[in-house]
Amino acid sequence: MPAASKEMRYWVDVAIECVRRDHTPTFGKGDQRGPFRTARALGMALGALHDGYVLVAGRKPLLTLSLDSPTQSLDPVVTGAAACHQLLLLRYPTQSAELNASWDFWVRLFEISFPPMVPSENYGRMVGNAVHLLGINDRQLANTMGYTPSGPYTHDAPPTEPNQRFAGSVWGNAARLVTERVEDFAPPPGRTGPTTVVPNAHFAADFLRVQTKGAQQNRTRTGDEEVIGIYWGYDGPPELGTPPRLYMQVVLSVLDDIESRKPGALSVQEELQIIAATGLAMADAGIDAWHYKYSPDHMMWRPALGIRFGLGDLAAPESEWLPLGRPDTNGKGLALTPDFPAYPSGHATFGAVAFQLLRTFLVQKGLATFSLEGLDNVDFCFVSDEYDGRNTDPRTQTPRPRLPRKYSSLWKAIIDNSVSRVFLGVHWQFDGVTIKGADPDGEFGVPCAPEDLGRRGGVWLGCQLANQVAAKIGVSQCTIDDSKV
């Protein structure tokens, strides 16, 4: 971020660090574990940071808060920082000691002057409290079990993990922050109603792809495909946390690269806005994704279960099939499957909402362009914590190599992030992405460009939510329609 905003970037980094610590047992039991809870806490923290900053400057906040306007002149930096710190204290009480130490260090590092700043801090903490109250029922919703498996094609614990619970079964009822629900989301191929699935050629093609590409014992998966699968992992292991942390790391990396190449191209307010908007968009994306995961009209079991049962005449069952599995980085687990339904992919939805919003924003600001097919030219290089040379692979118990990965566009990152789950064997390809074709909802395939994207899967869902948020922050002229997402 611009040099003048280092005081604010500090708190963005603290919020991301909370996610890592929350999933690392040495810091305690964890307060917001799992992808949808992580997205919620991270989005709220960044929303509080932004809104505390802009409220005292007389600009429009991203959230609708029950809060009186300040009655005196306040410092926006202190107000925003206090709002973020307060929200994090409320969402991560186990980390209160670390968070209070971060506050004290911030005051010393940036030579924040007290007591003149006390009114700004107090108002900021009021903002943090107000943001927290927008999700006052979150803990209850996250811990409530409201789902019972009901037969073929519905989610259940795989035979190798019989003690799995059903995470987020009622999370779709959580209070939304900045978007409206996407109501016209297509079901997976073959599902014709809450109790009926008629397997078709699309499903059969997906079945074969994950059966061969995602198997624990490599069949047709290439070395690069396996790297892609693990690179985009972040399946809640110690030291890494969950996907929303990964996507925010990428967003920050892109923004930092722009600042290094074009100093001052974005103002403090602009960078803070897109960072907070991305966090809030991911928070709402978790609500939509989990709503549809547990919707009877969209329910779909994971490959770890489905491949054992087959697809009737279209695909034979394979009773001993195991996935490569979500990466249990720094652990010892193998062939693991997430504990919630497959459709839509949470990875695909979170990644699409974050990167679609960012690429649209950058085009609006004149820092990127779209081709006629909807491709952006935002190139970047990023080192995933999965391949940082330090965190260990559960199969070898040794550190994975450090592997920087280059991308020519954010669209390519959206696609790799989605199909990565197929290479791990934890998702059908249609959970994430489909292509346009005779079926108006989308057919089997991976789109080369946004104009080819089908309406099924988390990528389409995430892009629709991103377009809503883009319009909310005044980026409507570059919010491309369904034909180019």
- Residue from 244, 233, 219, 223 nearest 333 by CA: 233
The percentage of residues in the chain with a pLDDT greater than 70, rounded to a whole number, is: 97
115, 240: one domain: no
254, 168: one domain: yes
179, 86: one domain: no
109, 9: one domain: yes
What is residue 481's predicted lDDT score, i.e. its pLDDT? 47
157, 80: one domain: no
Residue 143 domain-assigned (yes or no): no
Please enumerate in sequence order all residues whose Cβ is within 8 A of that of 174, keeping only pairs 6 or more positions apart, or say none. 40, 135, 137, 138, 141, 287
CB of 359 closer than 8 Å to CB of 253: no
- Rounded to an integer, the average pLDDT of 348-359 is 98
Residue 195 domain-assigned (yes or no): yes
379, 458: one domain: yes
157, 117: one domain: no
Is the pLDDT confidence value at 234 over 80?
Answer: yes
Residue 383 domain-assigned (yes or no): yes
What is residue 218's predicted lDDT score, i.e. its pLDDT? 87
| CA pair distance 427, 236, nearest whole angstrom | 17
What is residue 485's predicted lDDT score, i.e. its pLDDT? 52
User: Final residue of a domain: which of 100, 135, 170?
Assistant: 135
Number of domains in the chain: 2
Q: How confident is the model at residue 483 (pLDDT cuts 50, 70, 90)?
A: very low
pLDDT per position as a tens digit, 302-315: 999 999 999 999 99
Is the pLDDT confidence value at 2 over 70?
Answer: no
pLDDT per position as a tens digit, 320-329: 999 999 999 9
| CA pair distance 159, 263, nearest whole angstrom | 54
- Rounded to an integer, the average pLDDT of 287-291 is 98
- Rounded to an integer, the average pLDDT of 28-38 is 95
| CA pair distance 338, 290, nearest whole angstrom | 13
130, 203: one domain: no
DSSP 3-state of 350: helix
Residue 141 domain-assigned (yes or no): no
User: Final residue of a domain: which of 109, 135, 161?
Assistant: 135
Residue 142 domain-assigned (yes or no): no
- Residue from 57, 75, 483, 473 nearest 280 by CA: 473
| CA pair distance 329, 318, nearest whole angstrom | 27
CB of 62 closer than 8 Å to CB of 50: yes
Is the pLDDT confidence value at 464 over 70?
Answer: yes
Residue 201 domain-assigned (yes or no): yes
CB of 425 closer than 8 Å to CB of 342: no
- Residue from 153, 17, 193, 436 nearest 446 by CA: 436
What residues make up the domain containing 19? 1-135
289, 391: one domain: yes
124, 160: one domain: no
283, 342: one domain: yes
Amino acid at 238: P
What CATH number is given to the structural domain containing 93? 1.20.144.10
Is the pLDDT confidence value at 477 over 70?
Answer: no
Question: How large is the greatest C-alpha to C-alpha distance in the chain, in angstroms?
Answer: 75
What is residue 292's predicted lDDT score, i.e. its pLDDT? 98
CB of 24 closer than 8 Å to CB of 239: yes
56, 165: one domain: no
- C-alpha torsion 24→37→355→86, nearest 10: -80
Is the pLDDT confidence value at 480 over 70?
Answer: no
Task: Tell me the pLDDT of the chain averaged across its residues.
Answer: 95
Identify the weakest region by mean pLDDT among 110-124, 204-218, 362-376. Answer: 110-124
- Rounded to an integer, the average pLDDT of 30-57 is 97
User: Final residue of a domain: which of 73, 107, 135?
Assistant: 135
DSSP summary character for residue 432: T
pLDDT per position as a tens digit, 84-126: 999 999 999 999 999 999 999 999 999 988 776 899 999 999 9
What CATH number is given to the structural domain containing 229? 1.10.606.10
Model pTM score: 0.97
> What are the DSSP E strand ranges found in 306-383?
380-382
What is residue 221's predicted lDDT score, i.e. its pLDDT? 98
Q: How confident is the model at residue 177 (pLDDT cuts 50, 70, 90)?
A: very high
